[in-house]
Amino acid sequence: MSNIESAAGEPVAMSAGIVKRATTLADGRELIYFDDPGTKLTPTRKMDARKLDPRPATAVMRQDILTGEWISIAAARQNRAFLPPADQDPLAPASPTNPSEIPDNYDVAVFENRSPSFGPALANVAELDAQKSLSELSQIGLGRSRTSVGRCEVVCFSPATEGSFGTQTPTRARTVIEAWADRTAALSALPGVQQVFPFENRGEAIGVTLHHPHGQIYAYPFVTPRTTRVLESIATVGPDLFQRILESERGSERVVLSGEHWTAFVPFAARWPIEVHMLPHRHIPDFAATNEAERDELAILYLRLLRGIDKLYDTPTPYIAAWHQAPVNVGHDDVRLMLQVTSPRRAESKLKYLAGSESAMGAFIGDVPPEQSAAFIREGLSRLEVTSA
């Protein structure tokens, strides 16, 4: 094999004409290319020629005895890149002056995080029993710690050095969605993984450390605190909780965008000045369970939603786009895939900070009535339509 060819396995055909090509980086981390349909890229990929230090040891989780929550202490993350110039972007295709994380040009690329919060170690398969593991983790005691097994991946939406999911083309958005579905299935099958979480942080006000258009995927070794509360609500209200939410919101004035398969709305009890949830009309637990029609429509609706939010003001709006998926082993049939986009932007030049009540007590105070927020977001969407006409 020449030094310009990759060690990737055979290309795998995905839906919508997307092609998947897997390889590894110099330190053994997995790197996967997802090629757009009709891509202009060549089938071969350059190998990672860097000499890298060994990967940091897997972090350790410590339990907060007051809440039972697990906190991952991942000290290696202190060394990650912080707002480097474009010519030193670690997510851009590698060049002679920028030996980045991705050795060749790409459409969409997914790779294991070099300094992860969870992993690279996985649970011991011989000793693993998912139900017993969850039961053991839910116990509470002083000084409890466990290895932060799992996986953290970076999802690069584009080789461009600036942008976000909302700046991509519909074709590229569809490729990213295919990558999310593929990685959700793969990560859910890893030993010890209990929940898979794709998300995008956008904007310095959110705390991003790279301007490159990208998101992340966390594969947790536990069911997250928020999802645990959702499971408690399902136990109280009933297994049709999400369908009841969808029907209630679709009959309200808080709907901002709707299609054949998805509806986006400002929730009845929104916490943030800008907060939008999106639910599929069919009860599905995660991206892996979406069908081709749902992925196709989502690529269009999700772009419209994010671009509409960017039309609210003259400058891009910072946000967190969180894709909540069902846990792998508990409540999988009752929790529905849901997008939650939140922004602290409460006016053009004002941000909502989590101060005393929110940070210390977890008791949110909403600054904007949800109905007013929904009307404002619909205005942004209408301006987008005028601009696109």
- The CA-based angle 146-329-226, given to 5 degrees, is 70
Average pLDDT over residues 48-60: 94
Q: Which of 174, 206, 223 is the last residue of a domain?
A: 223
Model pTM score = 0.95
Query: Residue 4 falls within a domain, yes or no?
Result: no
Residue 74, pLDDT > 80, answer: yes
Same domain, residue pair 264 and 203: no
pLDDT of residue 386: 62
Residues 357 and 238 in one domain: yes
- In this prediction, residues 284-294 reach a mean pLDDT of 98
Helix, strand, or coil (residue 14): coil
Residue 2 is predicted with a pLDDT of 33
pLDDT in tens, 157-175: 999 999 999 999 999 999 9
- Residue of 212, 214, 261, 277 with catalytic role: 214
Q: Which of 223, 238, 264 is the last residue of a domain?
A: 223
Average pLDDT over residues 102-126: 93
Complete DSSP assignment for 320-386: EEEEE---SSSSTTTPPPEEEEEE-EEETTEE----IIIIIH-----SS-HHHHHHHHHHHHHHHHH
266 and 163 in a common domain: no
Q: Is the peptide bond before 327 cis (omega within 30 degrees of 0)?
A: no
361-388: pLDDT as tens digits: 999 999 899 999 999 999 999 998 665 5
Predicted pLDDT of residue 298: 98
Same domain, 195 and 101: yes
d(CA 121, CA 175): 29
Confidence band (pLDDT; 50, 70, 90) for 3? very low
Q: Is pLDDT of 8 > 70?
A: no
Beta strand ranges found along 87-208 (DSSP E): 108-112, 145-147, 151-156, 195-202
Structure confidence at residue 389 as a pLDDT band (50, 70, 90): very low
Longest dimension (CA), the chain: 62
Share of the chain above pLDDT 70, in %: 95
Q: Are residues 194 and 257 part of one domain?
A: no
Q: Enter the tokens of residue 236.
A: 């109280």
> Are 166 and 279 members of one domain?
no
Tell whether 37 is covered by a domain: yes
Consecutive H or E run containing 215: strand 214-220
In a domain, 298, yes or no: yes
Residue % of the chain over a pLDDT of 90: 86
pLDDT score at 130 = 76
Domain that holds residue 252: 227-388
Is 3 inside a domain boundary? no
Q: Give the span between the Cα atoms of 36 and 16, in whole angstroms.
A: 9
The answer to the question of residue 362 being in a domain is yes
Q: Residue 5 pLDDT > 50, yes or no?
A: no
The pLDDT assigned to 9 comes to 63
The reply to whether 343 falls in a domain is yes
Is 214 marked active-site? Answer: yes
pLDDT of 131 > 90? The answer is: no
Q: At 194, which CATH number?
A: 3.30.428.10
Give the span between the Cα atoms of 318 and 320, in whole angstroms: 7
Average pLDDT over all residues of the chain:
93
Q: What 3-state class would DSSP assign to 178?
A: helix
Q: Quick check: helix, strand or coil at residue 260?
A: coil
Query: How many residues are there in the chain?
Result: 389
Instruction: Tell me what pLDDT residue 6 has.
Output: 45
Instruction: Express each pLDDT in 181-191 by its tens digit.
Output: 999 999 999 99
Write out pLDDT tens, residues 336-357: 999 999 999 999 999 999 889 9
Are 209 and 254 contained in the same domain? Answer: no
Q: Is the predicted pLDDT of residue 92 greater than 80, yes or no?
A: yes
Please indicate, yes or no, whether residues 133 and 87 belong to a single structural domain of this protein: yes
Residue 254 forms part of a structural domain: yes
Q: Which residues, in sequence order, are CB contacts of 386 under 8 Å at separation 6+?
A: none
2 falls within a domain? no
Asked whether residue 4 carries a pLDDT value surpassing 60, the answer given is no
Structure tokens at 181: 């579905």
Provide the domain count of the chain.
2
| Mean pLDDT for the stretch of residues 89-100 | 96
What's the CA dihedral at 49, 54, 58, 59 to 10 degrees? -100
Find all residues with CB under 8 Å of 263, minimum gap 6, and list them: 246, 249, 250, 255, 257, 278, 279, 281
In this structure, the answer to whether residues 68 and 111 fall within a common structural domain is: yes
Low-confidence winner among 8-17, 230-239, 253-262 (lowest mean pLDDT): 8-17
Query: Same domain, yes or no, for 145 and 242?
Result: no
Q: Are residues 148 and 264 in the same domain?
A: no
Q: Where are the alpha helices (DSSP H) in the chain?
A: 130-138, 170-188, 225-237, 241-250, 292-310, 361, 370-388
- Within this chain, do residues 202 and 269 fall inside the same structural domain, yes or no? no
Q: 47-56, 133-142, 167-176 — which one is most confidently predicted on average?
A: 167-176
